[in-house]
Amino acid sequence: MNVYLPGSLSELWSRQEECGMAQFFAGGTDLFVKLRASAQYPRALIGLEAVRELRSIEEREGAIFVGAGASHTRLLSHPLIQAHFPLLAKALRVLGSPPVRNMGTIGGNICTASPAGDALPPLYALGAEVELRRRDRSRRLPIHEFILGPGKTALAENELLYGVWLKKDDSPALFHFEKVGPRKALAIAIASFAALINSTDAGIVKKARFAWGSVGPVVVTSREAEESLVGFPLTRESLQRIVPIVDKIVSPIDDVRASASYRRALAGNLVLRLAEYGPREMGGKGEGLTRT
Ligand SMILES: Cc1cc2nc3c(=O)[nH]c(=O)nc-3n(C[C@H](O)[C@H](O)[C@H](O)COP(=O)(O)OP(=O)(O)OC[C@H]3O[C@@H](n4cnc5c(N)ncnc54)[C@H](O)[C@@H]3O)c2cc1C
């Protein structure tokens, strides 16, 4: 097996043409575990670590572009992510351990398409788009159209995840990410929940975005749940109206980490817990955040 480490996209396309079917790897924290377990190796591996175009995190066309090769650690310390997407930072802070965050990338987390991927619920709640590239073509898709099922994406043959586009929305918002695992650290989510809430000065919800991880084959979202909170304060009573909706939309499985019924109960309880948190625990972005 040959391993290539191109330094630029043009070199990457040339390597890809040379070796035919090659598999990409970024940090290798998912892929190498899988390859070792299956003992089936591709003919060639192309590493993305040195491809400079995949490392950029910058403001472009009024949005923030995050290269697929940006590591979780780099995202966590980047001022643009801290300023505009603290929801994503909150999730990345509990992804794996420091070595996993140093090696692992946002692109790898998305392409792995695990229902338990920690970056995914925030990316869905933030309305992220992914940019895919081949030598001769580039296309953009909303993240929910890219992830098709556990381990399944819309990546075509020879296509690369180039990066993620995040719209800036600097209106005041409360944000929250919580994952429940078998233990506090280094835990794969049994269930996770991301929330982004804009409210009036009086604490009445104007807009809500919710996304649940690990309770279905892909991240679960629900316009019905989000809209049912609009016009109400962020109290346990208002949040209670979402619970039956959550019960309807999730489709968890039993596995070694938890039973489906436990996951189903968690998905609703994570919503109710929003009422227990103040802006400090949830995280408040912008001035004038109030709650009832
Ligand atoms: C000990 C340990 C703990 C972990 N804990 C967590 C956790 O708590 N939460 C969590 O979400 N994950 C966790 N993971 C999983 C993993 O670390 C993350 O999913 C990470 O983000 C994967 O990124 P990577 O760059 O290492 O991906 P890689 O392993 O390099 O790649 C993963 C897959 O994506 C493909 N790929 C990668 N980049 C691209 C690209 N740009 N274009 C096309 N295809 C691409 C690869 O071909 C491969 O199929 C853990 C892993 C380990 C080993």
DSSP of 80-147: HHHHH-HHHHHHHTTSS-HHHHHH-BHHHHHHHT-TT-TTHHHHHHTT-EEEEEETTEEEEEEHHHHE
Structure tokens at 61: 């066309």
Q: What is the pLDDT of residue 170?
A: 78
Atom of ligand 1 nearest to the CA of 117: 11
Question: Residue 114: phi, psi to the nearest 5?
Answer: -80, 140
For ligand 1, atom 28, the nearest C-alpha belongs to 28
Question: 156: Cβ below 6 Å to ligand 1?
Answer: no
Pairing type for strands 160-167 and 205-213 reads unpaired
Atom of ligand 1 nearest to the CA of 72: 21
Q: What is the pLDDT of residue 283?
A: 66
Residue to mutate, 13, 66, 103, 109, ligand 1, most ligand atoms under 8 Å from C-beta? 109
Residue to mutate, 49, 111, 123, ligand 1, most ligand atoms under 8 Å from C-beta? 111
Q: What is the pLDDT of residue 150?
A: 97
What pairs with residue 173 in β-bridges? 285
Question: 103: Cβ below 6 Å to ligand 1?
Answer: yes
Q: What is the pLDDT of residue 288?
A: 40
Q: What is the pLDDT of residue 216?
A: 97
pTM of this structure: 0.95
Strands of 136-234, DSSP E: 137-142, 147-149, 152-153, 160-167, 173-180, 191-199, 205-213
What string of pLDDT tens digits covers the 292 residues of the chain? 899 999 999 999 999 999 888 999 999 999 999 998 998 888 899 999 999 999 999 999 899 999 999 999 999 999 999 999 999 999 999 999 999 999 999 999 999 999 999 999 999 999 999 999 999 899 999 999 999 999 999 999 999 999 999 999 878 788 999 999 988 778 899 999 999 999 888 889 999 999 999 999 999 999 999 999 999 999 999 999 999 999 999 999 999 999 999 999 999 999 999 998 765 566 666 544 444 3
Question: 267: Cβ below 6 Å to ligand 1?
Answer: no
Q: What is the pLDDT of residue 285?
A: 63
Atom of ligand 1 nearest to the CA of 162: 41
For ligand 1, atom 38, the nearest C-alpha belongs to 108
Residue 194 alpha carbon to ligand 1 centre in Å? 20
Pairing type for strands 44-47 and 2-4 reads parallel
Structure tokens at 4: 């290539």
Residue 108 alpha carbon to ligand 1 centre in Å? 4
Pairing type for strands 173-180 and 191-199 reads antiparallel
Residue with tokens 């099922």: 149
